[in-house]
């Protein structure tokens, strides 16, 4: 199996080898030929990979964005479409940002985009979310009202949550916006950006027989999401499925923080993966 994937760390600031490229006074970023070539290769590879696997709403959003295939899009180009469709826009940030800023931006319908693209050496293996992950993986669905509204609501709730509660909320983001699946009348489909932007995770999430795929349809199942540990550096052993993107509207109407309290009382599930090994200094 192709094991290459993007590894996303949800709004946790830490050291990174990448630096976002600055925009000029007009908001224009001068990408190099090599960087544009990397985008082109990533775009063409993943577009072929997600055919008949990404959900219809994603495909519709991708068509609306009309992203260039041969170069990295300017944020203003993407924002113009998002603003028209759902009132969202792209917002340039450093490579990684902290909890508070992440939630604040989402609450204001500003989607954080780090303006760097992976190096050739990390073409198939990247821990930080780069511009390809953010634009190709997430922005098409931000044209969809249900997805757009849920993402803003998530930001509003997280902005006022405690530090402990944010850890639980991170699991909701992970298992929906990043790694969510749909169980549609036409079969299994992908909507999570962490899967859509990764060829390895796309094939794995759709076809691997060892994967557990659980329904996410009510409050009890949402508590299950909160109680499910995950690791960012492995293929996911478990995914949660909605029946449609519109079900995010129903999830958004639940008392998400009250359900966090239920999850705290019940405790976390046993992880379905081994602990991460730590290097021993010699």
Q: How far apart are CA 175 and CA 135, in angstroms?
A: 19
Stretch (H or E) spanning 40:
helix 33-49
Q: What percent of the chain has pLDDT over 90?
A: 83
Average pLDDT value over all residues in the chain: 92
Query: What's the pLDDT score for residue 126?
Result: 75
What pLDDT, on a 0 to 100 scale, did the predictor assign at position 108?
Answer: 98
pLDDT tens digit sequence for 75-84: 999 999 999 9
pLDDT on residue 278: 59
Alpha carbon distance 83, 115 (integer Å): 19
Cβ atoms 43, 135 nearer than 8 A? no
**Could you tell me the CA-to-CA distances from 137 to 190, 255, 265 in Å, in that order?**
11, 28, 34
Q: What is 5-22+33-266's CATH topology? A: 1.10.800
- 8 A C-beta contact, residue 31 and residue 72: yes
Task: Pick 158 or 95 by higher pLDDT.
Answer: 158
- How many residues belong to the chain? 282
Name the pLDDT band for 187 (thresholds 50, 70, 90). Answer: very high
Q: Which two tokens stand for residue 13?
A: 């600031």
Residue 26: what pLDDT?
A: 92
pLDDT value at 14 more than 70? no
Beta bridge partners of 91: 112
Please write the tens of the pLDDT for every residue from 56-65. Answer: 999 999 999 9
| Residue 226: predicted pLDDT | 98
Give Cα separations from 248 to 66, 208, 222, 240, 259 (angstroms).
25, 26, 11, 13, 16
Q: Which value, to the nearest 10 degrees, does the dihedral of the CA atoms of residues 229, 190, 235, 176 take?
A: -20
The domains of the chain are located at 5-22+33-266
| Structure confidence by residue, pLDDT tens digits, 86-144 | 999 999 998 788 889 999 999 999 999 999 999 888 887 677 889 999 999 999 999 99
By three-state DSSP, how is residue 215 classified? strand
- Structure-block tokens of residue 74: 């300017």
**Alpha-carbon distance 17 to 240, whole Å?**
32
Structure tokens at 213: 């795929």
């Amino acid at each position: 199996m192709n094991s290459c994937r993007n590894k996303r760390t949800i709004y946790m600031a830490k050291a990174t080898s990448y630096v976002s490229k600055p925009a000029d006074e007009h908001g224009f970023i001068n990408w190099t030929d090599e960087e544009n070539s990397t985008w082109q290769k990533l775009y063409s590879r993943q577009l072929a990979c997600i055919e008949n696997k990404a959900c219809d709403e994603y495909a519709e959003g991708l068509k609306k964005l009309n992203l260039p295939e041969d170069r990295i899009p300017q944020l203003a180009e993407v924002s113009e479409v998002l603003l028209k469709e759902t009132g969202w826009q792209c917002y340039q940030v450093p490579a990684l940002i902290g909890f508070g800023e992440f939630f604040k931006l989402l609450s204001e319908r500003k989607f954080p985009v780090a303006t760097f693209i992976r190096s050739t050496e990390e073409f198939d293996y990247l821990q930080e979310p780069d511009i390809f992950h953010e634009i190709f993986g997430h922005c098409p669905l931000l044209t969809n009202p249900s997805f757009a509204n849920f993402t803003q609501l998530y930001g509003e709730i997280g902005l006022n949550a405690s530090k402990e509660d944010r850890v639980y909320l991170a699991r909701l983001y992970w298992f929906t916006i990043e790694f969510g699946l749909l169980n549609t009348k036409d079969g299994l489909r992908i909507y999570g950006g962490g899967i859509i932007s990764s060829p390895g995770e796309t094939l794995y999430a759709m076809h691997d027989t060892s994967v557990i795929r659980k329904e996410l349809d009510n409050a009890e199942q949402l508590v299950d999401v909160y109680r499910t540990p995950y690791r960012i550096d492995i293929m996911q052993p478990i995914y949660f499925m909605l029946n449609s993107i519109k079900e995010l509207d129903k999830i958004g109407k639940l008392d998400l923080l009250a359900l966090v309290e239920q999850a705290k009382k019940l405790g976390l599930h046993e992880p379905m993966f081994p602990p991460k090994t730590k290097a021993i200094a010699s």
